[in-house]
């Protein structure tokens, strides 16, 4: 863990960087990283500031609602744009994130130019460069600035600083788009996305904050924190989860005994790519 003195210095460097960028727009998901970036940009302060969010079928509706609430909580102008699922993305290729971010950033740049702003920022952090992130190619191609990465902020740094700043999202579990719950190179339907969304929301309401429902054809594979597996396996929980999941259209419901791990769906594609 970064000590508080070093973290404060890192944060001051971030504020100085943000002040130098003029009128800025932030690609905003409502997650911990982009919310922290918005709060820092407001404090800097930026010359002018706007948050831009895409409403897409592969993001849960509750995520958008939370993003809007957080932007309102911070007192920041928030623009939401709705788009469908591009066919390249619907086939779920290994570089899906690249296509998604390319489409998103292109739309956001149109808004940035219309507003007469100077810079488009995203919430990429230092940790992201150590993982499988094909979307980083789009960040580079479209000249998106990533102040959190440039200032060396890790996820742990951001949570620690967000808590100190009183941001309500400081302990929000990490999340990704719903397509990440489906194996690569598998066609993704809107029904698949809603099945996953409602299944995960049900589990969250049951008290499982960090959860993924991976969809393998008609099988639901549930991942929760390893320390929560025993709780999930209790008969009173199972007797609620299984009927509900089957009502969504799943034929079988399973628990992953290894628990939740970030990038679980990336293992096989990384192995394949490394062999080429």
> pLDDT (tens digit, 9 = 90+) per residue, 67-82?
999 999 889 999 999 9
The sheet with strand 78-82 has its strands ordered as 78-82, 48-55, 23-27, 119-121
Cis peptide before 27 (omega within 30 of 0): no
Mean pLDDT in residue range 15-21: 96
pLDDT of residue 273: 47
> pLDDT (tens digit, 9 = 90+) per residue, 201-259?
999 999 999 999 999 999 999 999 999 999 999 999 999 999 999 999 999 999 999 99
- pLDDT class of 3 with cuts at 50, 70, 90: confident
- Give the total residue count for the chain: 276
What DSSP string runs through 67-80? HHHHHHHHT--EEE
Mean pLDDT in residue range 187-192: 95
Q: Average model confidence (pLDDT) for the chain?
A: 92
pLDDT of residue 265: 60
Q: Which has the minimum average pLDDT: 107-111, 134-138, 205-209? A: 134-138
pLDDT of residue 271: 52
Mean pLDDT in residue range 24-53: 95
Percent of the chain with pLDDT over 90: 82
pLDDT of residue 184: 94
pLDDT of residue 175: 87
Planar angle of CA 76, 35, 106, nearest 5 degrees: 80
pLDDT above 80 for 185: yes
- pLDDT class of 174 with cuts at 50, 70, 90: confident
Q: Phi-psi region for residue 90, left (φ > 0), alpha (ψ -120 to 50) or beta?
A: alpha
Q: How far, in whole angstroms, is CA 90 from its chain's centroid? A: 18
| Ramachandran angles phi, psi of 71, nearest 5° | -65, -40
The total of other beta-carbon atoms located within 10 Å of residue 168's CB is: 13
- Domains of the chain (ranges, CATH numbers): 4-165 (3.40.50.620), 178-269 (3.30.70)
> pLDDT (tens digit, 9 = 90+) per residue, 260-269?
987 666 655 5
- pLDDT class of 46 with cuts at 50, 70, 90: confident
pLDDT of residue 263: 64
Calpha distance 125→59 (Å, rounded): 21
Strand partners, 27: 52
pLDDT of residue 73: 86
* Contact indicator for 122, 34 with CB cutoff of 8 Å: yes
pLDDT above 50 for 127: yes
Nearest to 222 by CA among 196, 248, 243: 196
pLDDT of residue 189: 95
């Amino acid at each position: 863990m970064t000590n508080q003195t070093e973290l404060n210095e890192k944060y001051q460097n971030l504020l100085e960087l943000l002040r130098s960028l003029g009128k800025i727009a932030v690609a905003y998901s409502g997650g911990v990283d982009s919310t922290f970036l918005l709060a820092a940009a407001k404090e800097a302060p930026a010359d002018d500031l706007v948050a831009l969010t895409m409403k897409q079928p592969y993001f849960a509706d509750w995520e958008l609602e939370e993003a809007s609430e957080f932007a309102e909580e911070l007192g920041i102008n928030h623009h939401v744009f709705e788009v469908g699922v591009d066919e390249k993305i619907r086939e779920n290729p290994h570089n899906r994130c690249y296509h998604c971010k390319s489409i998103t950033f292109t739309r956001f740049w149109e808004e940035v130019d219309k507003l007469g702003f100077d810079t488009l920022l995203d919430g990429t952090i230092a940790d992201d460069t150590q993982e499988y992130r094909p979307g980083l190619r789009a960040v580079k191609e479209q000249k998106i600035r990533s102040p959190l990465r440039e200032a060396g902020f890790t996820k742990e740094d951001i949570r620690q600083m967000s808590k100190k700043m009183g941001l309500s999202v400081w302990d929000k579990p990490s999340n990704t788009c719903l397509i990440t719950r489906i194996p690569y190179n598998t066609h993704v339907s809107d029904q698949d996305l809603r099945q996953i969304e409602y299944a995960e929301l049900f589990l969250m309401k049951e008290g499982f904050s960090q959860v993924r429902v991976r969809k393998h054809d008609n099988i639901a594979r549930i991942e929760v924190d390893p320390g929560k597996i025993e709780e999930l396996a209790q008969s009173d929980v199972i007797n609620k989860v299984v009927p509900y999941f089957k009502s969504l259209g799943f034929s079988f419901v399973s628990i992953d005994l290894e628990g939740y791990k970030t990038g679980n769906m990336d293992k096989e594609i990384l192995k394949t790519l490394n062999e080429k």
